[in-house]
């Protein structure tokens, strides 16, 4: 199975720098690569690349309407964007998106035949209570989520590892991915301080089907090195 490599730019890069990045990266990619890029919403562009897919970090589950500051399906359709991130911890914890709302989003975009990268992960207080508590918490993040959805990709991102420079250990990743694979047959990505120093070790874990990369994706050279490592696996 080809390893999946996804980049979440979060609130980084402009429309101009995103366009340059995507055009440059496209030239380096192979037909066998499975690459997803999630730019900041204002930098979304037409999804007309051959070797990568442009997705949206967020959207409101509506065609259009009175939802200030949100992106609707109508705008995504115009750009031919059919991939979305749902459930990222920053949206859950900073912006207050509940499990109920994540499930509503999932249902709406699944009915529109989107590829969905669905994010789950625990904070440090839960991790410190042990593996069984981690499993119990992650299970709650699948409430009302159709885990058999054929266009589902799951991203396991321990919150305590995101942006901290401290990745989960190989044993922690293996244990958690194995548990998630008992819940759903979908591919499972790892995210949380993935970089060029730890990518080989992470991708060597049998249960890891790819990675969701944050800060290490902002520089095209470092991100391409991660892609090259994925090809080797």
| Enclosing H/E stretch for 180 | helix 170-183
Q: Is 204 annotated as a binding residue?
A: no
Count: domains in the chain: 1
- DSSP-assigned letters across all residues of 182-199: HH--S-EEEESS--TTTH
Q: What is the CA radius of gyration of the chain?
A: 17
What's the rounded Cα separation, in Å, for the pair 91 and 215?
A: 17
pLDDT the model gives residue 125? 92
pLDDT the model gives residue 168? 86
Q: Is 129 annotated as a binding residue?
A: no
- Residue whose C-alpha is closest to residue 189's, from 163, 210, 205: 210
Q: Is 69 annotated as a binding residue?
A: no
Please list the pLDDT of the chain residue by residue as tens digits (233 residues).
Answer: 799 999 999 999 999 999 999 999 999 999 999 999 999 999 999 999 999 999 999 999 999 999 999 999 999 999 999 999 999 999 999 999 999 999 999 999 999 999 999 999 999 999 999 999 999 999 999 999 999 999 999 999 999 887 776 778 999 999 999 999 999 999 999 999 999 999 999 999 999 999 999 999 999 999 999 999 999 88
What's the rounded Cα separation, in Å, for the pair 106 and 86?
A: 7
pTM of this prediction exceeds 0.85? yes
Q: Is 163 annotated as a binding residue?
A: yes
CATH at 196: 3.20.20.70
pLDDT the model gives residue 145? 98
51 is catalytic: no
Q: Is 133 annotated as a binding residue?
A: no
179: containing domain: 4-232
Q: Which residue out of 88, 90, 97, 229 is catalytically annotated?
A: 88
Dihedral sign of CA atoms 21, 91, 203, 154 in order: negative
Q: Which residue out of 90, 97, 122, 157 is catalytically annotated?
A: 157
Phi and psi dihedrals of 186, rounded to 5? -65, 155
On the CB side of 192, CA atoms within 13 Å amount to: 24
Locate tokens 């080989």: which residue? 200
How far CA 25 is from CA of 21, 99, 101, 118, 216, in Å, comes to 6, 35, 34, 24, 14
């Amino acid at each position: 199975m080809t390893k999946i490599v996804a980049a979440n730019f979060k609130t980084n890069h402009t429309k101009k720098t995103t366009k340059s990045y995507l055009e440059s990266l496209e030239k380096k990619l192979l037909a066998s690569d499975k690459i997803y890029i999630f730019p900041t919403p204002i930098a979304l562009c037409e999804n007309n690349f051959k070797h990568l897919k442009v997705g949206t970090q967020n959207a409101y589950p509506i065609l259009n309407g009175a939802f200030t500051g949100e992106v609707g399906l109508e705008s995504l359709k115009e750009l031919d964007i059919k991939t979305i991130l749902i459930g990222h911890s920053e949206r859950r914890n900073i912006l207050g998106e509940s499990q109920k709302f994540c499930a509503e989003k999932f249902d709406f975009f699944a009915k529109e035949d989107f590829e969905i990268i669905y994010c789950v992960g625990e904070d440090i207080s839960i991790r410190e209570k042990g593996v069984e508590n981690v499993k119990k918490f992650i299970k709650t993040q699948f409430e009302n989520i159709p885990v058999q959805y054929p266009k589902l990709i799951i991203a396991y991102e321990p919150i305590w590892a995101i942006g901290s420079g401290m990745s989960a250990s190989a044993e922690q990743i293996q244990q958690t991915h194995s548990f998630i694979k008992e819940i759903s047959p979908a591919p499972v990505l790892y995210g949380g301080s993935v970089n060029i120093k730890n990518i080989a070790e992470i991708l060597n874990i049998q249960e890891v089907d790819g990675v969701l990369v944050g800060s290490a994706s902002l520089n095209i050279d470092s991100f391409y090195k991660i892609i090259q490592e994925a090809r080797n696996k």
